Amino acid sequence: MRRGTLAAAALLLGAAPLAEALSLVHSERSLYRQVLVYEDQGTRCLCFTRGCVIGRQSCVTLAAPEKLYFEYTQMMMAALFMGPRPQRILVIGLGGGSLPRALEKAVPEAALDVVDIDPAVVRVARQYFNFVPGPRTRVYEEDGRVFVRHALREGRSYDLILLDAYDHEYIPEHLLTREYLFEVKRLLTPGGVVAANTFSSSRLYDSESVTYRAVFGEFYNLKSANRVIIVRNGSLPALALVRQNAASWAPALRNFAVDAADMAARFSTAVDWNERARVLTDQYSPANLLNGR
């Protein structure tokens, strides 16, 4: 692993600099994990492993906290290009709260529900990452799948759902399966959109791809160090419409250092996976065996 600062390190979970480059700001053991906050050269990051040796969950540039630090968060915001302005949004996985903060400002009229299993993460997001939920934002300290099931029973629905739940290594296996994704799909309004943060290179890539395809049909892939899968409850909008919508969002997203035209150019439906891979199910989801890159 190369030495370097946090800002120069690769921007995906699993790639981080050596511990001696970092200054520890906060450490606590939650019910689920070690929760740590580090700083380095004006950047503050949330990590779940000592020295961020496996990866970083969230980062903020202290001098420009509005900027979306990770490229994958910028790609997640590109889900807004898929259709009308969302009125109800669900974010599963808080981290430092970068995405909810950006969504509150970009779509201030929307009601926003944010879910994270770990109360310690919620506390750290508030104390160290300036996550101050607005009047239209509700925060739930709950497992993401449990929340989805409760929401279905309560008859809730969402126009936009962002899936960004990680443990210290990868997405928890019960949040990867066909059954879970069908539950998420049932929460969508007609034409509603899901954006999911995953890895652009992993032994789960093929299985993840065929699982999303089995539930949602064709989807858009956006890739950098991470990939973001963007699906719709219904047929996908044409790329020409995606680019048109991106242009209308460009002024608002510029506030978060998002280049809307660049994000729109990444939308692709090209199949770059083995279509005969096994679908992930509640009976077969060996994430602990397959997620190494």
Nearest one of 212, 100, 208, 113 to 159, comparing CA atoms = 113
- Residue 99 has phi, psi (to 5 degrees) of -65, -45
Any idea what DSSP says for residue 213? H
Q: What tokens were used for 82?
A: 């898929």
Dihedral over alpha carbons 97, 50, 286, 32 (to 10 degrees): -60
Q: Is 164 a catalytic residue?
A: yes
| Residue from 235, 239, 155 nearest 191 by CA | 235
Paired with 229 in beta bridges are 196, 221
Question: Residues in the chain, how many?
Answer: 293
| Choice among 40, 164, 206, 272 that is catalytic | 164
Could you tell me the two tokens for 204? 């789960």
Q: What backbone phi and psi angles, to 5 degrees, belong to 105?
A: -85, -35
Q: Which residues are catalytic?
A: 164
